[in-house]
Amino acid sequence: MADDMQMRHNAKRAAEAVGEVSGQHERFVAMDLLQATGPAAVAPPILEITSDTVERALRDAERLLATEGATSGVDRIHTAFHGYLRALASRANLGHSDAAGVTELFRLIRAQHPSFAANAAHQAEIDKILRALANVVDTLNPLRNQSSVAHPNVDLLAEPEAMLFINSVRCLLHYMNAKTKM
């Protein structure tokens, strides 16, 4: 881009702006083009109840999002969510098999975890949202198995849909983490 006069002008203006803020003369500024075209990312959660596998899967998802894109992070965020549900159910001593999937674990936690038994204000509406989210959770498995790089799939999720998948899981993780801290 050194031959692009507009880019050179923009770089010079960026260096001057940084110099004004820092009070120092800036001669060189490194820049990267922002190429975000899809939905913004929901912040990654910091979980109270977790495991080494969950934390590793979350780190892997972050790295893949930054380097390869959302489509590559789908499998890792699914693994993190599955591991989180398993850790949450185990911590609450909810009987579940080692082979329980995300749908079964989500249903079990909603039905038997003490944090979900309390009646909150507007409980009927919250229950409607949770039932709708149960449909989302039920849809995660086929998308992960048939539309991500978890398996040698030909038709992969496009970046906006992969980010929707990741954001949906992150929202669930944030909510469940907050709900079970009470």
Would you kindly state where each structural domain of the chain is located, as residue ranges?
Answer: 1-33, 37-181
Residue 122 neighbours by CB distance under 10 Å? 10
Please measure the distance between the N-terminal and C-terminal CA atoms of the chain and give it in whole angstroms. Answer: 53
Q: Which residue in 108, 62, 112 sits closest to 85, CA to CA?
A: 108
Whether this prediction's pTM lies above 0.85 is answered by: no
Contact 162, 71 (CB under 8 A): yes
The pLDDT assigned to 22 comes to 76
Instruction: Label residues 56-74 b or e (16+ Cβ within 10 Å = b).
Output: ebbebbeebbeeeebbbbb
Contact 156, 148 (CB under 8 A): yes
User: How confident is the prediction along the chain (182 residues), in pLDDT tens digits per residue?
Assistant: 667 777 777 777 777 877 777 777 776 666 665 555 667 788 999 999 999 999 999 999 999 998 999 999 999 999 999 999 999 999 999 988 889 999 999 999 999 999 988 777 888 898 899 889 989 988 988 999 899 889 998 999 999 999 999 999 999 999 999 999 86
Type of residue numbered 144: R
Handedness of CA 155, 172, 120, 106 (dihedral sign): positive
The pLDDT assigned to 33 comes to 55
